[in-house]
Amino acid sequence: MPVILAILIGLATGIVFGIALEKSRVFEPGVIVGQMQLRNFLMLKIFLTAVVTGLVAIAIMHGSFGVGLYLKPLLWKADIIGGLILGVGIALAGACPGTALAQAGAGYRDALFVIAGGIAGALTYGYFDAPITAFFAESGAKVGFDQLLGLPFVTVALGFAAILVLLLVGLERLQPWRDEAGPDFDGLAALPAEPADAEKSASDRHVT
Amino acid sequence: MLGLERKAWSPYVAGVIIGLLQIPTFLLMQTALGASSSYVTVGAHIASWFDPGVGQVKYLASHLWGAKNWWQVAVVVGIAAGAFLSMRISGARRHAISPVWARAMGTPTLAARAPLAFIGGFIMLVGARIAGGCTSGHGISGMAQLAAGSTLAVAAMFTGGILTAMLLMRRV
């Protein structure tokens, strides 16, 4: 494929992705930090809904039309250690690698530092890829749960999707998304009234 | 329900839209959605201005050129453009930094926030490249393909994030 065509497809995909990230408020640092504090579940709701939709779309494409899959291999050490480090970074950055760009687009200035740090981190990893990979010294198969269970992809994908839908229904009953978005759509509840004001109004009442 | 002038959409509508993006990505690009390797492509090009040996570093060289690498760079640039458009149309303007930082970490200004933002971004991409993917590649795409490794990486990612938020941040 010509690079220019790939770039046009990427831009179109990204613009839709960016609109969905901004409108759903999942790009908000308050939502991402709130998710990691197990206070706000908006991130999990959008994430799992995207997984459910992907499961159904990929089950149809792969199951009915034979479209190939693009699994990453199972690498125990790299997945666990890399995943843990990634999570620490997400909490400190208040962003994921993708949502950092949405933050920059929506006007958060600190996102530019997250992106700059991310480029530096990716480049640093790139220079040390050979020793890091040698240190982990593992190779893995591109294995899916369907293979582990010995069942057809479509069956496992649709079953997994159904379980996730039930989980989402439960989450939404527990905490409606509008409450989680908050009054300024930044994933934060309104601040409680200043204690000083409360004392003042109490003493006012006392005087009268 | 999908008006661009609205400041918030249901997370379920947005999640379905993001999930549906797998269809053009699988069919046109023969890959799944991802974001973090674009940082390697951009970083490798910046490095190539200073270091003529970038092409000899196998990992960096493999991210320099080609349709898939530039497709993903275009995706993340598009994410910024889409979020900008969405914000301008709805008028959901943001402060320089989110109020969450003053509440959770006591950094109310951009100057106070910037160093930790840089460090957070650095750690995030080192982790993503060790794991071979991020919230998009391992999360949205890997789990939607039932990949065991991706599900493991996502569990580790949430564990790392939750521990960090619980230990270092004030509840907001």
Q: How far apart are CA A117 and CA A97, in angstroms?
A: 11
- Say yes or no: B4 and B83 in one domain: yes
CA distances from B144 to B22, B88, B90, B150, B162 (A): 9, 32, 31, 10, 23
B45 and B89 in a common domain = yes
> What are the pLDDT digits (tens) for B62-119?
999 999 999 999 999 999 999 999 999 999 999 999 999 999 999 999 999 999 999 9
Q: Which amino acid makes up residue B15?
A: G
Question: What is the SS3 assignment for B147?
Answer: strand
* Cβ contact, residue pair B79, A17, below 8 Å: yes
Chain B residues close to A111, C-beta within 8 Å: 117
B89 CB within 8 Å of a chain A CB: no
Give B-chain residues touching A47 at CB under 8 angstroms.
15, 135, 139-140
Under the banding of pLDDT at 50, 70 and 90, the label for residue A205 is very low
| Alpha-carbon distance A192 to nearest alpha carbon in chain B (angstroms) | 11
Q: What is the pLDDT of residue B3?
A: 92
- Does one domain contain both B5 and B87? yes
Compute the nearest-CA separation of B91 from chain A (Å). Answer: 10
The reply to whether B38 and B72 lie within a common domain is yes
For residue A98, pLDDT beyond 60: yes
Domain span holding position B47? 1-94
pLDDT at B8 over 70: yes
Whether residues B6 and B65 share a domain: the answer is yes
Q: What confidence score (pLDDT) does residue B92 get?
A: 96
pTM equals: 0.94
Confidence at residue A64, expressed as pLDDT on a 0 to 100 scale: 92
Contact A63/B at CB under 8 A: no
Task: Specify the number of domains making up chain B.
Answer: 2
Calpha distance B92→B56 (Å, rounded): 46
Do B115 and B152 fall within a single domain? Answer: yes
Say if residue B104 is in the same domain as residue B134: yes
With 50 as the cut, is the pLDDT of residue A46 above it?
yes
Give mean pLDDT, residues A171-185.
95
Q: Average pLDDT, whole number, for chain A?
A: 93
Predicted local distance difference test score (pLDDT) of residue A208: 43
Average pLDDT estimate for B126-149: 97
Residues of B in contact with A34 (CB under 8 A): 100, 172
Q: Which of B40, B71, B94 is the last residue of a domain?
A: B94
Asked if B141 and B130 sit in the same domain, the reply is yes
Q: Which residue has the higher pLDDT, B172 or B144?
A: B144
Q: Which residues contact B41 (CB under 8 A, 6 or more apart)?
A: B63, B64, B69, B70, B72, B73
Q: Which of B94, B121, B145 corresponds to the end of one domain?
A: B94
Residue A102 CB contacts under 8 Å (≥ 6 apart), including other chains: A18, A21, A22, A27, B79, B80, B82, B83
- One-letter amino acid at A169 equals V
Q: Which two tokens stand for residue A99?
A: 């949502």
The last residue of one of the domains, among B78, B94, B110, is B94
* B74 & B30 share domain: yes
> Do residues B6 and B92 make contact, with C-beta atoms less than 8 angstroms apart?
no
Judge if B81 and B108 occupy the same domain.
Answer: no
Specify the pLDDT at position A168. 98
* Best B31, B45, B130 residue to mutate vs chain A (most A CBs within 10 Å): B130
Shared domain check, B101 and B88: no
pLDDT at position A192, please?
75
Once rounded to an integer, what is the mean pLDDT over residues A151-162?
98
pLDDT for res A196? 55
Distances in Å between the Cα of A135 and the Cα atoms of A121, A130, B27 are 18, 9, 36
One domain, residues B106 and B53:
no
- Give CA–CA dist B12/B87, Å, rounded: 19
